[in-house]
Structure 1
Amino acid sequence: MADRPTGPTPSVLVIGGGTSGNALTVLLRRAGIAVDLVEASPDWKASAGSGITLQGNALRVLREVGVLEGVQKDGYAADGVAVLAPDGTVLHAHPELRTGGDDLPSHIGMQRPRLQQLLIEKVRASGADVRLGTTATEFKQDGTGVDVTFSDGTSRRYDLVVGADGLSSTTRSMIGITDKPEPTGMGIWRAPAPRPASVRRTEMIYGGRCLIAGYCPTGEDTVYVYLAERARDRATLDPDAYADEMRALSEGYGGAWPELRAAFTDPKAVNYAWFDRHLVEGPWHRGRIVLVGDSAHACPPTFAQGAAMSLEDAQVLAELLTGLDGWDARSLDRLLTDYHARRLPRVRMVVDASVQLGQWLLDGVRDADVPGLMGRTLSALKERP
């Protein structure tokens, strides 16, 4: 395929077709910017996960992307969470702060594959050039653009390259950023299940066999279930026994748990992962190549803010690029520096708070100011990024 010269219409390569990459692609195309998106997996929906909790500030971005209606239709909005005792007794229930504004729910739970499908449909409709089963293998930058060589042997030239390729980002390592995710000491088991009629909100138990045992409705008929514990050596775990592990860990929990436990039968539907802390403190760009989303930062799901932070990255970067007068090297460097400066304090706050909540659980701190930490963090997130 012939090189595409940099012309009057700016051209952007987005590497990674996950949440942040898809959202960014849609927003840039809407601004008239030419976008190519490459995704390493030949199946764009592969490994999309089981469930996701979308806080209000994530919904605010998804509204701008144009998928909020689908999210509301297919997800489950519940204003409020409850903390239960291991036997299922409600200890405390409260409404959540609406971080996306008073006109949006505090959160919507939904099946992650459905969110991915909604975003894919928007990307396809945007007119972006999408290539699956393709990776970037080499970057060569000069003062006016980036020449990218791909795994299929083709090459193209772009004004800007965006690495949205996740926690194990190859873009990050290819441009010489050495920061890597670090495990926090916790692991999590996750699986979808049919929604018991009694489950109408997110509910969590702290204690019992697990550090956290919780679930979030993801639709009229589905729920996303998770069990967090001290991290295990993943090499010793047998994937064929994952469903057995979830059933064993959920033993002793009352309320809806006996009904949920009965659904853990398919080991392929169960996912196990570690909690990681990741934050690139230094610049997120090298020349005309920049990181967004999990490639630049990630946090434990204790605040359910991972997707929201990635979506906010996409929104802020698209906003800055849309208002850019010239795509010369100096203007782009200034813009990407501003992008980092605007995002870093907010992302650091979320990463640190998410890690702190998990650390209190690991340390068994009984008098931790959890309400205070959550209140301060969520109140700050209500402000637009």
Structure 2
Amino acid sequence: MTSQQAGRVLIVGAGIAGMSATIALRRTGVAVDLIDIEPDWTVVGAGLTITGPTLRALRQLGVYDAVAAQGYVGEGIRVCGVDGTYIRDIPTPMPPEAGVCGSGGIGRPVLYRILSSQVLASGVRPRFGRSVVEIAQDTVGVDVTFSDGTAGRYAMVIGADGIYSRTRHQVFPAAPEPEYTGQSVWRMFVPRPPEVDRRHYFLGGKVKVGWTPVSATQMYMFVVERTPRKIRAPHELPGGLADLLKPYGGHVRTFRESIREDTEIAYRPLESFLLPGPWHRGRVILIGDAAHPTTPQLASGAGIAVEDALVLAEELAHHGAVPATFEAFSARHEQRCRFVVESSIEIGRLEQEQAPPAAQTAVVERALTRLVEPV
């Protein structure tokens, strides 16, 4: 049985993982229904840092040229001290056959527009404001009841509904809950100075500061802070971020001085967990943050979500049968995703311990080198 004969697939969640799975599966001829509990394509967050392996995955998905044109692609990561002085560069080479740069960034709303346009071009019309109430499966299919009272039968259900996945709770009721890592991240858009041509880290202080170019004129700056879990009101964010940036020099000081009461700043506690495998049960499988939510330290969460979609579509095209597809997916990609989660948590631990910059960047280099390997 080929993927075209495999039957209709339901994808729950229209974020990066769900949209990527829709695009990849439609490319092989699979019929797809895509739903999301939100009323539209909701975008949360300022920007995304994109590694070389993630750019490779986006190229395989068919959207690299759009990302390069509308976002930023380049090479390397520059490491600086708190005062802004240069320490070293971390290379980010990709093999020539990958056909991509080694680093990049893009505004999250921009990436959503690129992916959503491809979803629509594939002929899929997402149904928003809809969730799954009940999943009942047998050996040959899955019966799904939706929140609007309708129902459907599918050959496969893909849970791509994020870190607080309802699909995970329905299929894996004993799964662990997301846990606070001890760090929170602040993000704001800032102008991109003409001489800034790559990602930057500013290490050695009580917080980790960095930025990523996301277009010819913009980048987003982030600050990772060790703190008890806090919920901050919007009016607290400008002053709170300005206080954290007081010790920093160079362009960071300039950006700090630009913060006003109405400056838009995003603030999010970082959560993660390791879900025991396999990430599938019967004919339901989890991908993206529903299966392997990670912190942003390695900038690879979106990348492995796109890889999930590509691998799943490739294995379905090869095997046709859903059980064999899921087993092949697990064997091929599960450990890679776990490696990203574990490496990200390790970098966060070193940041919280205020380990020397060399110790922090060593984990980054080691992880990125491994992720360059083909999926």
Q: TM-score, normalised by structure 1?
A: 0.91
Change (3 A) 1:340 1:284: same
Local SS of the residue matching 2:152: strand
Q: 1:344 aligns with which of 306, 312, 334?
A: 334
Aligned to 2:103: 107
Cα deviation per residue 1:303-353 (whole Å; 9 max; x = unaligned)? 11111111111111111112233x4xxxx2232122122222211222111
The match for 2:274 is 279
- Aligned partner of 2:80 in structure 1 is 84
Bigger Cα displacement from structure 2, 199-208 vs 111-120: 199-208
Aligned residue number for residue 302 of structure 1: 297
Letter of the 1:159 partner, please give it. Answer: A
| Cα-to-partner distance string for 1:58-110 (whole Å, 9 max, x where unaligned) | 11121122211110001112211111111111111243232795531111111
Other-structure match for 1:37 = 34
Q: Is the 8 A contact 1:11 1:160 kept in 2?
A: yes
State whether residues 238 and 259 of structure 2, in contact with CA within 8 Å, keep that contact through their aligned partners in structure 1: yes
86-95 or 259-268, larger mean C-alpha shift: 259-268
- SS in structure 2 opposite 1:86? coil
Residue of structure 2 equivalent to 1:179? 176
Q: How many residues align?
A: 371
Structure 1 distance, partners of 2:354, 2:53, is 30
Aligned 8 A contact 1:187 1:229 in 2: yes
CA contact (8 A) 1:199 1:256 kept: no
Q: Give percent identity, aligned residues only.
A: 36
Cα distance, 1:232 vs. partner? 3.3
Question: Alpha-carbon deviations, 1:177-210, whole Å to 9, x = none?
Answer: 41222222111111112223342211111133x4
Give the 5 Å matches for 1:90-169. 90-98=86-94, 103-169=99-165
Structure 2 Cα separation of the partners of residues 196 and 129 of structure 1: 40
Comparing 256-265 with 82-91, which one deviates more in the overlay?
256-265
- Which residue of structure 2 lines up, in the alignment, with residue 377 of structure 1? 367
Residue by residue, what CA displacement relative to the aligned partner does 1:238-280 show, whole Å, maximum 9, x if unpaired? 2222122222211221111133224433667321112223221
Structure 2, unpaired ranges of 5+: none
> 2: CA distance between counterparts of 1:122 and 1:242?
36
What is the RMSD of the two structures over their aligned residues, measured on CA atoms? 2.0
Report what 1:23 is aligned to. Answer: 20
Whole-angstrom distance in 2 between the partners of 1:248 and 1:364: 19
How far, CA to CA, are the matches of 2:311 and 2:276 in structure 1? 18
Aligned to 1:247: 242
CA distance in 1, matches of 2:202, 2:297: 13
The answer for the alignment partner of 1:238 in structure 2 is 233
On the 8 A contact 1:193/1:264 being kept in 2, the answer is no
Output the TM-score relative to the length of structure 2: 0.93
Q: 2:341 matched to 1:355?
A: no
Deviation at 1:222, TM superposition (A): 0.8
d(CA) in 1 for partners of 2:57, 2:89: 27
